Chain A
Amino acid sequence: MAKVNLGGVEIEVDEDGFIVDPNVWNEKVAQALASTEDVPNMSEEHWKVVKYLRDYYQKYNIAPMIRKMCKDTQVDLKHMYELFPTGPAKGACKIAGLPKPTGCV
Chain B
Amino acid sequence: MKLAFPVVGTDLSSPLDGRFGRAPRFLIVETDSNAFTVLENARNTDASQGAGIQSAQVVIGSGAAALVTSHCGPKAFKVFQSAKFPVLQSPIAPVSELIEQFKAGSLKEMTAPDNAGHAG
Do A and B belong to a common assembly?
A: no
B residues adjacent to A (C-beta < 8 A): none
